[in-house]
Amino acid sequence: MIVKTGGRCVIRLWFVLPVLVLGSSLTVDGWTQKKSTTGHTSRPALKMQTQTTGSISVAFVNLPDGAMLAPGGAGRRALDLGQVAYGVVSRTPNVQIRTLKDRMIVTTRFGLALQNTGAGGPFTTATVLASLAFPDPARVLRIEGVKMGSVPQVIQPRARIGATSACRFEIEVPVTLTEKDAQMRNSILFQVVPN
């Protein structure tokens, strides 16, 4: 969320982990209809069941060289980028602002910690995907250099489980945005798939 106060923008971004993908397998138990059947029967052609084999927890953590994360509930943290303005040096520690002719790029880092909390599944790595909750045509958001959109994108193909990995976050804000349009209310959704 970008909030404009006293000629400066305050950017707050909420991380949301709505889907924690569990290691699972599908079992099939189905029947088909014979050619000689004269009437239609209502038998299922395919029956699928999900079986859980483990679980992975995700935590967003502060890094010594990253912006501070505000406290939040389970899977919800806010990345505080402080007040930012075009052509002004950021006063928030570990937040960099680069100005170009037509936009400013605000950059920082955050930590992503994956833990195997289930009894099953000897997972050592996982694929981390991220997407925006709502499309944002005015701004460009990137994690690890990958442009975010409403479709999940792979940001870390083999993140180590049991370790904290550093993620680079960038937001491009065009100078054409008015104060009213500069306010941003969006969330980044993360999905984790064990490898």
DSSP assignment of the chain equals -EEEETTEEEEEEEEE----PPPEEEEE------TT--S-----S--EEEEE---EEEEEE--TTSPPEEP-STTEEEEEEEEE-TTS---STT-EEEE-SSEEEEEEEEEEEEEE-SSS----EEEEEEEESS--SS-EEEETTEEP-SS-EEEEEEEETTSEEEEEEEEEEETT--HHHH----EEEEEEEE-
Indicate the average pLDDT of the chain.
75
Please give the pLDDT value at position 18.
Answer: 39
Check pLDDT > 60 for residue 20. Answer: no
Please give the pLDDT value at position 119.
Answer: 62
Please state, for a pLDDT cut of 70, what percent of the chain lies above it.
68
Please give the pLDDT value at position 160.
Answer: 92
Please give the pLDDT value at position 169.
Answer: 93
Lowest-confidence range among 83-87, 135-139, 155-159? 83-87
